[in-house]
Chain A
Amino acid sequence: MNVLKIATAGSVDDGKSTLIGRILYDTKSLTTDKLEAIETRSKANGFDYLDFSLATDGLVAEREQGITIDVAHIYFSTAKKSYIIADTPGHVEYTRNMVTGASTSQASMILVDARNGVIEQTYRHFFINNLLRIKDIVVAVNKMDLVDFSEEKFNAIKAEFEKMVANSDYKDQNITFIPVSALKGDNVVSESENTPWYSGRTILEHLESLDAKDVFEKGQARFPVQTVIRPKTEEYHDYRGYAGKLYGGSLSVGDDVTVLPSTTKSKVKSIHFFDKEFKKAKKGSSISITLENDVNVSRGDMLVKTGEEPKITKELTATICWMDKDPLQASSKYFIKHGVNDVQAKIISLSTIMKPDFSGEIENPTQLTLNEIGDVNLKLSKPLFVDSYKNNKSNGAFILINPKTNTTSGVGFIK
């Protein structure tokens, strides 16, 4: 069955967790024991309604503070497909967790509180969704019950949001606006009688209409070698299987391939998945490959079809979203993880910081602080073989690791 990955976005208290809880409830995805737990807890908190955010806020601190701190992954399915929803935090402080949840998602539900309209966090989250090139955006104008389900309010917010979209460079993005009340259930799973002026789909109807696709599916065949399988048994004496996941395109036995970085040429001899051999492998498959001639291939190398080589480079220009308390500064050093490849990187210069409301850029900044997004030039200790993120998500993104703390400090999107 197809799996659609969705992330939520929007400011604190816009109702992300409530919306997911409502979807789970209305699709009967909450098991009896979980529902009972929500009922008990809601009563204990003195609510006369069910607090659906309790379905996803899994940490004690979250329940105490009533906010989401880290991503929760929620699973449910309909007759049509399976869903994985990443419920992400709205608080600026936890933007890194929002990016974590959104990175693997194909669609995003951005919530806007109908009373407040588009605010700074809405801009920021839409900006990040854009940077990640998330294809389908649902703008859920929430808490419509608190504005008398006003059509004017909804249209005003829609207009405001569209002004922001006009500045975006990602023209293929689909944006859909839906007026909802997550708490009461209007237009979430079933149509609302309170919005006779709205004739569009409900949130679930809209999600059901989307085609589930792996976010990495676009782009040419890239096969980063994770490990070399050498059984060293009599039966498989000379077997050298290159194990990895095929991102994009397909690979067939007999295909001419180039090994990077050595640029050695070879041919695909066989394709294996477990104890079976295949003539062809499709994108998204974790497989093993053997090559015709005895070439030297190890972890971090990449097989590509000859004629479809990515750029081999020791310098990168990338947009970086910073996630560390220690700011990124010119001349600091990090580890880069690009796919399964690790090299060292030095920051050469910072060229701009982007204002997340699309209002422009700050030139020549001295540093990038937590949650800031900017363009950076880097020098690498060894060449990487890269595509631009726009053309190939899997081969166009990297993470920066702080060598002192080993934490993941930033994510980069190659220009």
Chain B
Amino acid sequence: MSLDTIKVGALESEAIHIFREVVSQFEKPVLLFSGGKDSITLVRLAQKAFYPAKIPFPLMHIDTGHNFPETIEFRDRLAKELGVELIVRNVQDNIDSGKVKEETGRYASRNMLQTETLLDAIEEFGFDACIGGARRDEEKARAKERIFSVRDDFGQWDEKNQRPELFDMLNGKIDLGQNVRVFPISNWTELDVWSYIEAEEIEIPSIYFAHKRKIFVRDGMIWSAEDDVVYRDEEEVVEERMVRFRTVGDMSCTAAVLSDAITIDKVVAEIRESTISERGARIDDKRSEAAMEKRKQQGYF
């Protein structure tokens, strides 16, 4: 039975177009999968781009070891259902071997350490395109990023010298050793992603919905007190509240928000009304004015 007429929405159509360019222009693409809402959305778009064939590239997770257990469980199940290969590389391995040194103290995070593990994995597998779920509306340095963003051997972003990117013609030509970071949902806003998840009825990890959690408040932000990953001073008081997470990065740098949104439509309604940006709950960006740009120059994705 065929339905009548299809008109694919502009953002969805653009993302699918980008995915199809990636498999055509690169030998070894990989989708960087964090288990968060943006990468889950990417997976759905990739499914749509190649259906009824399977997604023609592996998923890779750079695991900081500080992820929410719900996310990890979700990640493994999704990969299995899709029948795609899941590669996991652990930041812990580099810490154990002494290759990188872990930060300590109050604001310690493994966010920076991810870069090293990512670059190693890119070299190990010879990936020439890494597809990520970054969006331009997230952060001001991200707002400057191209859809095909060329990185050198060291993963560095040359922000002052980006290739022109005209219309929807994507130039994926690179030299040996270079790779490209690809951002199919560059032009989506946080609300676009949430609305899509709602419309498509996409399953997401439970921590995105309001739930009871032991938390403590620091610098006006709400931190999970249920895992010993998050550093807490003795005098920081633990209480139980209804919260949800807006992003599910590394636990040590992802703050929660107070929320009663137990269903997706309530989450979307809250996002619509929110006066704080999504990254406002990420301590890693608060470190300095140029935190993101610096990380990207060093190969962060």
> CB-CB < 8 A to A73: which residues of B?
136-137, 143, 186-187
> CB-CB < 8 A to B54: which residues of A?
231
Q: How far is the CA of A288 from the CA of B173 in the complex (A)?
A: 26
B24 at the interface (CB under 8 A from A): yes
Q: How far is the CA of A35 from the CA of B47 in the complex (A)?
A: 38
- Against B, the Cβ 8 Å flags (1 = close, 0 = not) of A218-233 are 0000000011011111
- Is A253 touching B143 in the complex (CB atoms < 8 A)? no
Q: How far is the CA of A270 from the CA of B52 in the complex (A)?
A: 14
Q: Please judge, given known A-B contacts A75-B137, A279-B2, whether A399 and B169 are in contact too, CB under 8 Å.
A: yes
Determine chain B's interface SS by DSSP, over half rule.
loop
A15 at the interface (CB under 8 A from B): no
- Is A227 touching B24 in the complex (CB atoms < 8 A)? yes
Q: Please judge, given known A-B contacts A59-B159, A59-B160, whether A408 and B171 are in contact too, CB under 8 Å.
A: yes
Q: Which of B265-301 contact A (CB under 8 A)?
A: 274-277, 279-280, 289-290, 293
- Against B, the Cβ 8 Å flags (1 = close, 0 = not) of A318-335 are 000001000000000001
- Is B141 touching A97 in the complex (CB atoms < 8 A)? no
- Against B, the Cβ 8 Å flags (1 = close, 0 = not) of A339-367 are 11000000000000000000000000000
- Is B13 touching A99 in the complex (CB atoms < 8 A)? no
A170 at the interface (CB under 8 A from B): no
Q: How far is the CB of A210 from chain B (nearest CB, A)?
A: 16
Give the size of the chain B interface in residues (CB under 8 angstroms). 62
Q: Please judge, given known A-B contacts A72-B144, A230-B53, whether A285 and B186 are in contact too, CB under 8 Å.
A: no
A3 at the interface (CB under 8 A from B): yes
- Against B, the Cβ 8 Å flags (1 = close, 0 = not) of A182-196 are 000000000000000
Q: Please judge, given known A-B contacts A284-B7, A285-B6, A287-B6, whether A31 and B143 are in contact too, CB under 8 Å.
A: no
Q: How far is the CA of A119 from the CA of B94 in the complex (A)?
A: 56
> CB-CB < 8 A to B125: which residues of A?
none
- Is A97 touching B164 in the complex (CB atoms < 8 A)? yes
- Is A75 touching B189 in the complex (CB atoms < 8 A)? yes
Q: Please judge, given known A-B contacts A60-B290, A61-B160, whether A34 and B277 are in contact too, CB under 8 Å.
A: yes
Q: How far is the CB of A284 from chain B (nearest CB, A)?
A: 6
- Is A279 touching B5 in the complex (CB atoms < 8 A)? yes
- Is A31 touching B53 in the complex (CB atoms < 8 A)? no
> CB-CB < 8 A to B174: which residues of A?
406
> CB-CB < 8 A to A227: which residues of B?
20, 23-24
- Is B141 touching A100 in the complex (CB atoms < 8 A)? no
B211 at the interface (CB under 8 A from A): no
- Is B171 touching A278 in the complex (CB atoms < 8 A)? no
Stretch of A141-149, A238-246, A259-267 that contacts chain B:
A238-246
Q: How far is the CB of A108 from chain B (nearest CB, A)?
A: 15
Q: How far is the CA of A245 from the CA of B19 in the complex (A)?
A: 12
B199 at the interface (CB under 8 A from A): no
Q: How far is the CA of A77 from the CA of B272 in the complex (A)?
A: 11
- Is B187 touching A285 in the complex (CB atoms < 8 A)? no
A315 at the interface (CB under 8 A from B): no
- Against B, the Cβ 8 Å flags (1 = close, 0 = not) of A77-121 are 100001010000000000011011001100000000000000000
Interface centre among B7, B140, B164, B277, by most chain A C-beta atoms within 10 angstroms, is: B164
> CB-CB < 8 A to A278: which residues of B?
2-6
- Is B165 touching A408 in the complex (CB atoms < 8 A)? yes
Determine chain A's interface SS by DSSP, over half rule.
mixed
Which residue of chain B has the shortest Cβ distance to A2 in the bound complex?
A: B10
- Is B140 touching A229 in the complex (CB atoms < 8 A)? no
- Is A411 touching B166 in the complex (CB atoms < 8 A)? yes
- Is A401 touching B140 in the complex (CB atoms < 8 A)? no
Which residue of chain A has the shortest Cβ distance to B47 in the bound complex?
A: A274
Interface centre among B14, B20, B50, B275, by most chain A C-beta atoms within 10 angstroms, is: B20
> CB-CB < 8 A to B160: which residues of A?
59, 61, 69-70
- Is B166 touching A99 in the complex (CB atoms < 8 A)? yes
A236 at the interface (CB under 8 A from B): yes
- Is A280 touching B171 in the complex (CB atoms < 8 A)? no
> CB-CB < 8 A to B21: which residues of A?
226, 340
Excluding A77-B189, A276-B6, A279-B5, 18 further A-B contacts by CB distance (< 8 Å) are A70-B160, A73-B136, A97-B164, A104-B168, A227-B23, A243-B49, A245-B17, A270-B2, A271-B6, A273-B6, A276-B2, A285-B6, A287-B8, A393-B167, A397-B166, A399-B164, A399-B169, A406-B171
Interface pairs A-B: 8 shortest CB-CB: A58-B140, A286-B16, A285-B8, A33-B280, A277-B2, A226-B20, A406-B173, A282-B7
30 A–B pairs (Cβ distance < 8 Å), ordered by A: A3-B11, A32-B276, A55-B140, A58-B142, A59-B160, A61-B160, A69-B160, A71-B144, A74-B137, A99-B164, A100-B165, A226-B20, A232-B53, A236-B53, A243-B50, A276-B3, A278-B6, A280-B4, A281-B6, A282-B6, A285-B7, A286-B13, A286-B16, A286-B17, A286-B20, A335-B173, A340-B21, A406-B173, A406-B175, A408-B171
